[in-house]
Amino acid sequence: MIKHGMDVIKAITRFLNPGQIPVMGCDCPIFAKAKFIQWTWPDTHGENKFVVMFGSMHLEMAPWNVVGDSLEGSGWTTALIDAGIATAGNLLQTGF
């Protein structure tokens, strides 16, 4: 199904923008399968003929994970509680 979807995307892209390399954004499991398809059929679906990238959720989520890792243990939760901006219960429920 994923290979068929890639074929459909390729046909649509070829019809609308001849010569443009098709681009497909997808979540992790489909991304893994699409990469496997690219490595299995490099002549028709190879990395130089089809761009497969993570969907926007993953692109947005990655920097926030880095921010969370940087702030962990920095004392910012204590500062928010002491300033009266949030309570310990609110911060604990959100996982910070």
pTM value is 0.58
Domain residue limits, the chain: 2-54, 58-93
Task: Name the average pLDDT for the chain.
Answer: 84
| Cβ-based neighbours of 95, under 8 Å, separated by 6 or more | none
pLDDT of residue 65: 78
- Convert the pLDDT of each residue in 65-74 to its tens digit: 787 777 777 8
Higher pLDDT, 10 or 77: 10
- Convert the pLDDT of each residue in 11-45 to its tens digit: 999 999 999 999 998 888 899 999 999 999 999 99
Higher pLDDT, 94 or 18: 18
Of 27, 25, 28, 45, residue with least CA distance to 37: 45
What percentage of the chain has pLDDT greater than the value 90?
49
pLDDT of residue 20: 95
The tokens of 12 are what?
């649509």
Give the number of other CB atoms < 10 A from CB of residue 6. Answer: 23
Residue pair 9/38 in contact (Cβ under 8 Å)? The answer is no
